[in-house]
Chains A and B, each alone.
Chain A
């Protein structure tokens, strides 16, 4: 880990892979758009399904939910998910009063152990800027309309702390199994730019 430095941190392997990629792009051997497509594909291998299990468990098991909001890292590790770099995971709960949204920068500050690779838009400058300046505008871009009296909290991830949004359990899902619930928890709903999709 990078300690509490205020500059960005790249691991040596991050540096090696980025250098390979950027040099091959600069020389015209690699098409960055095609690379992005492939990364999106692999994202499904890493798995927002991990985060979806965490959310579904929290919806079904109040004791688990209490542990999750108390110590996200430990509660997520209970389900067998976690990074190897010791990042702290913090779960933030959406309620009728508060909607949470997560943002960060290029330096991998994304809860990839539970969400997989960050989508391209998450790394984009427009999202990073607008998420802070105009979160409701971002939500509108994603087709999410919240009640006017719901507050929007934006959480800026760091190298040390990664946030996972726990969306509200949708109406009409009473009695659903944990598997069925996990299936409706989208990646974007755990970043806070979407809602679960029953």
Chain B
């Protein structure tokens, strides 16, 4: 048995939490499928980054701004009031779910 040729990469993790990667993947998917435009998103994201000083470190604050931009980018598909109801459904589902069970939101309406 010989050691493999290539050492494992030891890069900094790109994401500090799963939601960061999920938001990143969601945006990539929406761009890939033509639901949102990359350049329009970039403009919204840039604006969100400028508005939030906490975003400057490239860490979690960066992704908070990313999510804020994504919420604006999809506003026509997911209007703010529907999004607010969906968030509330997730919060209630989490609070009502004993640990060890999958969290399943009940869709409003």
Chain B residues near A116: list those with CB within 8 A. Answer: 13
Query: Taking the complex as formed, is B56 at the interface, i.e. its CB lies under 8 A from any CB of chain A?
Result: no
How many angstroms between the C-alpha atoms of A125 and B86 in the bound complex?
Answer: 23
Chain A residue with minimal CB distance to B59? A84
Given A20-B74, A24-B77, A46-B13, A8:B67 Cβ within 8 A: no
Inter-chain contact A39/B21, CB cutoff 8 Å:
yes
Chain B residues near A7: list those with CB within 8 A. Answer: 94-99
Chain B residues near A180: list those with CB within 8 A. Answer: 3-4, 7
Chain A residue with minimal CB distance to B79? A23
Closest CB-CB distance, B18 to chain A, in whole Å? Answer: 5
Chain A residues near B28: list those with CB within 8 A. Answer: 38
Given A14-B19, A45-B13, A159-B99, A20:B83 Cβ within 8 A: yes
Bin the interface of chain B by size: 35 or more
Inter-chain contact B29/A113, CB cutoff 8 Å:
no
Q: Which of A27, A108, A125, A182 contacts B8 (CB 8 A)?
A: A182
How many angstroms between the C-alpha atoms of A52 and B6 in the bound complex?
Answer: 14
Query: Taking the complex as formed, is A11 at the interface, i.e. its CB lies under 8 A from any CB of chain B?
Result: yes
Inter-chain contact A8/B103, CB cutoff 8 Å:
yes
Chain A residues near B99: list those with CB within 8 A. Answer: 6-8, 105, 107, 158-159
Inter-chain contact A29/B30, CB cutoff 8 Å:
yes
Inter-chain contact B94/A107, CB cutoff 8 Å:
yes
Inter-chain contact B26/A182, CB cutoff 8 Å:
no
Closest CB-CB distance, B108 to chain A, in whole Å? Answer: 10
The interface centre, meaning the residue of B26, B89, B98 with most chain A CB atoms within 10 A of its CB, is: B26
Q: Which of B8, B17, B67 contacts A52 (CB 8 A)?
A: B8
Given A20-B74, A159-B99, A113:B13 Cβ within 8 A: yes
Inter-chain contact A182/B7, CB cutoff 8 Å:
yes
Inter-chain contact B1/A198, CB cutoff 8 Å:
yes
How many angstroms between the C-alpha atoms of A67 and B73 in the bound complex?
Answer: 47
Chain B residues near A156: list those with CB within 8 A. Answer: 100
Chain A residues near B10: list those with CB within 8 A. Answer: 49, 53, 182
Q: Which 8 residue pairs across A and B have the least CB separation, nearest first?
A: A179-B7, A180-B3, A38-B25, A172-B1, A45-B14, A19-B86, A182-B8, A19-B87
The interface of chain B, by Cβ under 8 A from chain A, is: 1, 3-4, 6-11, 13-19, 21-26, 28-30, 32-33, 35, 60, 63-64, 67, 70-71, 74, 77-78, 82-83, 86-87, 89-91, 94-103, 105, 107
Task: List 16 interface pairs A-B (beta carbons < 8 Å), by A numbering.
Answer: A7-B97, A8-B94, A13-B17, A13-B60, A13-B67, A15-B94, A23-B82, A34-B32, A38-B28, A42-B15, A42-B24, A45-B15, A53-B8, A107-B94, A173-B3, A180-B4
In addition to A29-B77, A116-B13, A117-B21, 6 A-B residue pairs with Cβ atoms within 8 Å of each other are A8-B98, A14-B17, A42-B15, A47-B11, A106-B102, A159-B99
